[in-house]
A and B are shown apart, each in its own frame.
Chain A
Amino acid sequence: MSALLHQTLSGLATGGIYASVALALVMVYRATRHLNFAQGEMATFSTYIALTLIQAGVPYWAAFALTVVLSFALGVALERLLLRRMAQAPGLSAVGVSIGLLLIFNALSGWLFGYTVKQFPSPFEGRSGGVLGGLVSGHELGMTAVTVVLLLLVYGFFRFTRLGLAMRAAAGNAESSRLVGIDVGWTLAIGWGMAASLGAVAGMMVAPLVFLDPNMMSGVLLYAFAGALLGGIDNPFGAAVGGFAVGVIENLGGAYIVGTELKLTLALVIIAAVLVLRPAGLFGRAVVVRV
């Protein structure tokens, strides 16, 4: 029983990572109708930036904040310089560009920071013996707290701020948004920036568990896709819930059903199952257009 509880809690902890990346994917998807396949590799690259800062002597949380800001700038720059030109392009081009970015960031990570697997520090290492009676590690608890706070911040931003409202408006109806004076292009860029920041936090939080290498986030990205789809690819709230759910499913499934060697197959099974059973996802409001 305690093993089951342990697996569930630990699943929720990684689920927070999936939820953050899923939310990043959904934010970009809602605004552009395109999936950013490079989201994971961008996050890995951000995590390398954080490690470089920490190794240069910057205190952990300062490096954390700086990385979030730099990632935001990176996301904004990519949208402004590259993706904006692809806004009207067909699906193939949009997927192509994001695959191109995936390859470039993956190679850049390896080229600039090396292919050897690196340790990444955790800010919650003090109680390494575990908390809650040894059920979860200090880092797992800390990273769950960070991701939950992050998700609440994003929720508050969209719900209560003027810019957040403008971004929701622009994602739903770009033409009317321009008519009320919103610069839709900039909301897209800011959305990309926020998505990159979310990914960066996810990367920094997961790196102490899985260690840092250029392919660190490729599995996470798939689970995040599965989570986003499960919750509803058009629904940020659903994506977050879906991310947590996938974390738990992955952990329990890995522990009791398929074993760790087939964990990625679980992502395929979830994605396929959602497409077959409930394409709009658990919380998808809009009915998916059938064509």
Chain B
Amino acid sequence: MPALLEVRGLTAGYGAGEVLHGIDIDVASGGVTALLGANGAGKTTTLRAICGMLQRRGEIRFDGARIDAAATQAITRRGIAHVPDGRGTFTDLTVEENLRLGAYVRRDGGVAADIAAMFEHFPVLRARLRQTAGLLSGGEQQMLAIARALLSRPRLLLLDEPSFGLAPLVVQQIFAILRRIRAEWNISILLVEQDASLALDFADHACILDAGRIALAGPAATVGRDEQVRRVYLGY
């Protein structure tokens, strides 16, 4: 079966500085690929490049179609949702408005039901519905960001360090919810994560990024077992 997302020879960076030097990544349909590596290896840049948030070269195919020349909003409309680094909360809007914006691309009648489903998974969002989103705690904002991304009913979810800055208990909670929703809605995921063991446990495929190049790729279990990989790249 062809991969849902195929990245080939992706080069990208900020201004004159190139961060990614031609990388290949696949996310299988229904699969989870973890993208690991040290700080500054280019993980966030990869997600941003896939979403067209910065200048990039190379081939990016989503469901067989080229998206490497498309604008960010068009990529979202095709079914890729991105929970960005820093969560991307609309801080001066209410939680409810944030959720409605998540479903901005949809014209179907199922939005209300999906928002209700999000409340099942993230009850705290229901309690905070009328609050300004900027006043939420970090964990709540992360939940809001994930709910917002899911409400576009994506086929592929890009997650940028969902555990960042959160208490271990909250992280566990968020990953448990992600597992459930993934199964329910059949969503594929490209996960960037600092916590390698957490990510390898969640993913079925893993790529290790080193200074803008893919150093290693393979099944998550294999990558996780490799002593040398663990020592050199993952640090545990």
A binding-site residues for B, Cβ under 8 Å? 162, 165-166, 168-169, 172-173, 175-184, 285
B42 at the interface (CB under 8 A from A): no
Q: Which residue of B lies closest to A178 (CB)?
A: B72
Main SS of chain A's interface residues? Answer: helix
Looking at B4-12, B87-95, B187-195, B201-209, the stretch in contact with chain A turns out to be B87-95
Structural contact, B105 and A175, CB atoms closer than 8 A: no
Q: How far is it, in angstroms, between the C-alpha of A184 and the C-alpha of B73 when the chains are bound?
A: 8
Query: Is there a chain A Cβ closer than 8 Å to B100's Cβ?
Result: yes
Q: Distance in Å from the Cβ of A27 to the closest Cβ of chain B?
A: 15
Nearest 8 interchain pairs by C-beta: A181-B105, A176-B88, A178-B72, A181-B76, A180-B104, A180-B101, A181-B73, A178-B73
Cα distance A180–B72 in the bound complex, in angstroms: 9
Q: Are B53 and A180 in contact (CB under 8 A)?
A: no
Q: Which of B76, B89, B90 has the most CB of A within 10 A?
A: B90
Given contacts A169-B93, A169-B101, contact A179 B77 (CB under 8 A): no
Given known A172-B90, A176-B90, contact A165–B73 (CB-CB < 8 A): no
Given A172-B93, A184-B73, A178:B104 Cβ within 8 A: no
Q: Please pick, from B73, B81, B100, B148, the residue contacting A183 in the complex, using a CB distance under 8 A.
A: B73
**Smallest Cβ distance from B190 to chain A, in angstroms?**
14
In the complex, the answer to whether B84 meets A179 with C-beta atoms within 8 Å is yes
What B residues does A166 contact at CB under 8 A?
Answer: 101, 104
With a cutoff of 8 Å between Cβ atoms, the chain B residues found around residue A173 in the complex are 88-91
Chain B CB within 10 Å, residue with most, of A175, A176, A179, A180? A179
Chain B residues with Cβ under 8 A from A162's Cβ?
100, 104
C-alpha spacing A177/B101, complex, angstroms: 8
Q: Do B51 and A179 have beta carbons less than 8 Å apart?
A: yes
Query: Which chain A residues lie closer than 8 Å to B46 at the CB level?
Result: none
A168 and B93 in contact, given A176-B84, A176-B88, A180-B148 (Cβ under 8 angstroms)? yes
Q: Are B104 and A176 in contact (CB under 8 A)?
A: no
B76 to chain A, nearest CB (A): 4
* A162 nearest CB neighbor, chain B only: B104
Q: Give chain B interface residues in 88-117, CB to chain A under 8 Å.
A: 88-93, 97, 100-102, 104-105
Q: Is the CB of B90 within 8 A of A179?
A: no
Task: Indicate if the CB atoms of B76 and A178 lie closer than 8 Å.
Answer: yes
Q: Indicate if B152 sits at the interface (CB-CB under 8 A).
A: yes
Interface check B71, CB cutoff 8 A: yes
Would you call A182 and B104 a contact (CB within 8 A)? Answer: yes
**Other 8 A-B pairs with CB < 8 A, given A165-B93, A172-B92, A176-B88:** A166-B104, A169-B90, A169-B97, A172-B90, A172-B91, A172-B93, A175-B84, A179-B81
Q: Contact check, A180 vs B91: say whether CB atoms are below 8 A apart.
A: no
Provide the residues of chain B in CB contact with A175, threshold 8 Å.
Answer: 53, 84, 88
Docked CA distance A156–B89 (Å): 23
Q: Does B82 lie at the interface of the complex (its beta carbon under 8 Å from any beta carbon of A)?
A: yes
Convert B57-72 into 0s and 1s, putting 1 for each residue whose CB lies closer than 8 angstroms to a CB of A.
Answer: 0000000000000011
Q: Which residues of A contact B105 (CB under 8 A)?
A: 180-181
Instruction: List, in ascending order, chain A residues with CB within 8 A of B148's CB.
Output: 180
B97 touches A181 (CB 8 A): no
Q: Are A181 and B152 in contact (CB under 8 A)?
A: yes
A-B contact pairs, 18 of them (CB 8 A): A165-B100, A169-B101, A172-B91, A172-B92, A173-B89, A176-B88, A177-B90, A178-B53, A178-B71, A179-B51, A180-B76, A180-B105, A181-B73, A181-B76, A181-B104, A181-B152, A182-B104, A183-B73
Whether A179 pairs with B72 at a CB distance below 8 angstroms is: yes
| A180 pairs with B152, CB closer than 8 A | yes
* Chain A residues in 8 Å Cβ range of B92: 172, 285
Which residues between 140 and 171 of chain B lie within 8 Å of chain A, taking CB atoms? 148-149, 152
Given contacts A165-B100, A166-B101, A181-B105, contact A176 B89 (CB under 8 A): yes
How far is the CB of B186 from the nearest CB of chain A, in Å? 20
Complex Cα–Cα for A15 and B89 (A) = 36
Complex Cα gap A178–B72 (Å): 6
Q: In the bound complex, what is the Cα–Cα distance between A240 and B97 (angstroms)?
A: 23
CA distance A88 to B81 in the complex (A): 26
Residue of A nearest to B97 (CB): A165
Q: Are B102 and A180 in contact (CB under 8 A)?
A: yes
A247 to B149, alpha carbons, bound, how many Å? 45
Residue in chain B with minimal CB distance to A174: B72
Bound Cα distance A83, B120 (Å): 45
Q: How far is the CB of B122 from chain A (nearest CB, A)?
A: 17
A176 to B92, CA, bound (A): 13
Which residues of the other chain, B, contact A168 by a CB distance below 8 angstroms?
93, 97
